[in-house]
Each structure stands twice: as structure tokens, then as C-alpha cells.
Amino acid sequence: MALSSTQIRYLRSLAHGLSPVILLGNKGASTAVVKELGLALETHELVKVKLSGGDKDARQTQLATLLQGTGAEEIQQIGHVAIVFRRNADEPKIALPR
């Protein structure tokens, strides 16, 4: 599901006050982290992820692994913090604007 610019702006505003739920360590985006992110997305739909150190390319690779493994969409990434979203098909919690 492709999000419109209005929906992305709305999700960014909701995520502003959130704290990172997933913190990546030295091992990066392992299968266990992908599984945890999947569970967090099932519960919250909108999640902040703090990527581990390294250069920009390493962070992009980590984020791509997380997105591919969970089927989530990137809302925003600033430095080491990324916001990801995946709608819960059974029980949507966030009402998106049109």
C-alpha cells in the first residue's frame, strides 16, 4: 500500500513524541531483530527504530533489511533514527487521512 504525502506527514506527526522501540546493536539487523520489529508493528503499527552506528550506507542497509523482512514502509529517517509503518490488517489502530 503506497502512502500519500498527506498520510506520511500525518504519521510523522504521530511519531514525533515516540521513543525508539527497537535498538540495533553491534550485530545490526539480525533475524531476531526483524522478528521483534514484526511483533512491535503488529502491536503499534508505527514504530521508531534506532539504527546502530556506522556510516550512512551501513544504516541504509540495516533499514532495508528490516523493511524487507517485515513488509513495513519507511516514513522518515533522520540520522540514526528511522520511523516505519505497517498497517495491521485485522485490527487497524491508526486512522489514516485520505
pLDDT per residue of the chain (98 residues) written in tens, 0 to 9 = 689 999 999 999 999 999 999 999 888 889 999 999 999 999 999 999 999 877 899 999 999 999 999 999 999 999 999 999 999 989 999 999 98
Q: Give 31-36's long-range contacts (Cβ < 8 A, gap of 24+).
A: 31/69, 33/66, 34/65, 34/66, 34/69, 34/70
56 vs 43: CA distance, rounded Å: 29
This prediction has a pTM of: 0.92
**Helix extents (H) in the chain:** 5-15, 31-44, 56-70
Q: Report domain extents, the chain.
A: 5-85
Architecture per CATH, domain 5-85, reads as 2-Layer Sandwich (3.30)
